[in-house]
């Protein structure tokens, strides 16, 4: 029997990949006097902040291209040297499952760089196949990123139709549900319609709704009727309010406000406070220099009283198209 643990369950480690590509964060062709030119350097500092925040919480497994370039942090991480393109380990790492309550296995979905939108990233599909993980990797042959699925560790999974059918247009809900049951131990799937506007992942669930306990879900919510996300998130909220698990038990739904961030060209950035990472002892929560930052942090502090909630300035990270949760992938512990 396979089981996909919830994110708040004990971790052995977290997987991250050191940022190295200016293309990923829109800094390659910026003039030297532009604040965007040095964005990659600022992203590196954010990674160091995250690594420091995770010290004493869980082992950081850091993927790098050349170990010699990172001697300054060697004592803080376990390094894995390989060829890779980008930082989004959430999406190209396996879904780590526990097999028969006694050993780990990796469900390695096919990573398509978000429907082949970014051909330079396609090689990341091979990253975890190239590493010695000490576990079996199972390949179901389905295009999927882990950021597209959210689960409570007790058989219930949330996803969006928008994302799963964008990747696999010829599949049905029933086929997905059978795959999730076979490989993740899922007995109930809650289908939301879509994710937030402008998300190049085609609606990843980790920007929309997150389990924080087996029967408690935080849901991104927009109060402004004129906002593009208002109707989308209202519909998601109503769906979750009436949803139940496989034993017909309802969920408590907590509204999480939406930040409002624009890129320098004035375009709306796809950002959300739902893209937090739950570590063993801390919660890493993105902030955006937005009036709702403090409110979102207080909500998360109330939901995780036994963990320290650490704010991570994510105003540069979003230029790469993701957030804190997108660049972290937990590896569960066998207890």
Q: What is the pLDDT along the chain (335 residues), one digit of tens a residue?
A: 899 999 999 999 999 999 998 677 764 445 555 666 688 889 999 999 999 999 999 999 999 999 999 999 999 999 999 999 999 999 999 999 999 989 999 999 999 999 999 999 999 999 999 999 999 999 999 999 999 999 999 999 999 999 999 999 999 999 999 999 999 999 999 999 999 999 999 999 999 999 999 999 999 999 999 999 999 999 999 999 999 999 999 999 999 999 998 887 788 899 999 999 999 999 999 999 999 999 999 999 999 999 999 999 999 999 888 999 999 999 999 98
Alpha-carbon dihedral of residues 178, 182, 188, 191, nearest 10 degrees?
-50
Tokens at 278, concatenated: 């739950």
Q: Hey, which bits of the chain come out as E strands?
A: 2-3, 11-17, 59-64, 78-81, 95-99, 103-107, 136-138, 150-151, 156-160, 188-192, 209-213, 216-221, 252-257, 277-278, 282-287, 308-313, 329-332
**Highest CATH level, class, for 2-332:** alpha beta
Annotated catalytic residue 326: yes
Backbone angles phi, psi at 205, to 5 degrees: -70, -25
Q: What's the CA gap between 301 and 313, in Å, rounded?
A: 17
Query: How many C-beta neighbours within 10 Å does residue 276 have?
Result: 29
Residue with tokens 């902030």: 287
**The two three-digit tokens of residue 139, written as one number:** 């390949």
* Strand, helix or coil for residue 260: coil
Residue 107 has a pLDDT of 98
| Whole-angstrom distance, CA of residue 214 vs CA of residue 101 | 18
Q: Are 181 and 187 in contact (CB under 8 A)?
A: yes
The confidence score (pLDDT) of residue 264 equals 75
Neighbours of 113 (CB within 10 A): 21
Residue 233: name the closest of 215, 247, 219, 253 by CA. 219
Angstrom distance (rounded) from CA 222 to CA 100: 41
| Total Cβ atoms within 10 A of residue 34 | 12
Domain range list for the chain: 2-332
Global pTM value: 0.96
Site of tokens 């004592």: 75
The pLDDT, as a whole number, for residue 28 is 45
CA pair distance 13, 329, nearest whole angstrom: 9
Phi-psi region of 59 (alpha: psi -120 to 50; beta: other; left: phi over 0): beta
From 326, 328, 331, 332, the catalytic residue: 326
CA distance 313 to 319: 12
| CA neighbor of 167 nearest in space, from 200, 124, 210, 127 | 200
Per-residue model confidence (pLDDT) at position 27: 47
3-class secondary-structure state, position 287: strand
Per-residue pLDDT tens digits for 59-107? 999 999 999 999 999 999 999 999 999 999 999 999 999 999 899 999 9
pLDDT tens track for 5-51: 999 999 999 999 999 986 777 644 455 556 666 888 899 999 999 99
The span from the first CA to the last CA of the chain, in angstroms, equals 16
């Amino acid at each position: 029997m396979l089981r996909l643990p919830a994110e708040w369950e004990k971790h052995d480690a977290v997987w991250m990949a050191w940022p190295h590509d200016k293309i990923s964060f829109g800094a390659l062709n910026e003039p030297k006097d532009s604040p965007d030119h040095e964005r990659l350097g600022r992203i590196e500092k954010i990674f160091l902040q995250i690594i420091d925040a995770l010290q004493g919480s869980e082992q950081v497994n850091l993927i790098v291209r050349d170990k010699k370039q990172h001697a300054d942090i060697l004592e803080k991480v376990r390094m894995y040297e390989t060829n890779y393109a980008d930082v989004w380990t959430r999406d190209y790492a396996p879904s780590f499952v526990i097999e028969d309550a006694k050993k780990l296995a990796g469900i390695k979905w096919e990573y398509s760089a978000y429907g082949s939108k970014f051909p330079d990233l396609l090689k990341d599909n091979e990253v975890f196949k190239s590493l010695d993980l000490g576990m079996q990797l199972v390949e179901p042959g389905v295009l999927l990123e882990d950021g597209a699925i959210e689960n409570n560790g007790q058989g219930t999974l949330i996803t969006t139709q928008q994302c799963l059918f964008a990747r696999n247009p010829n599949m049905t809900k029933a086929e997905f549900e059978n795959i999730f049951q076979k490989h993740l131990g899922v007995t109930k799937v809650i289908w939301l319609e879509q994710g937030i506007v402008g998300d190049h992942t085609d609606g990843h669930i980790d920007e929309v709704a997150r389990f924080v306990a087996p029967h408690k879900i935080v849901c991104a919510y927009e109060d402004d009727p004129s906002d593009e996300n208002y109707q989308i998130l209202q519909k998601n909220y109503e769906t979750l309010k009436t949803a139940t698990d496989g034993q017909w038990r309802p969920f408590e739904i907590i509204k999480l406000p939406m930040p409002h961030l624009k890129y320098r060209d004035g375009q709306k950035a796809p950002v959300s406070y739902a893209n937090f990472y739950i570590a063993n002892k801390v919660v890493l929560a993105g902030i955006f220099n937005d009036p709702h930052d403090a409110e979102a942090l207080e909500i998360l502090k109330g939901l995780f009283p036994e963990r320290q909630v650490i704010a991570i300035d994510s105003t540069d990270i979003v230029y790469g198209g993701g957030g804190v949760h997108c660049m972290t992938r937990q590896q569960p512990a066998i207890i």
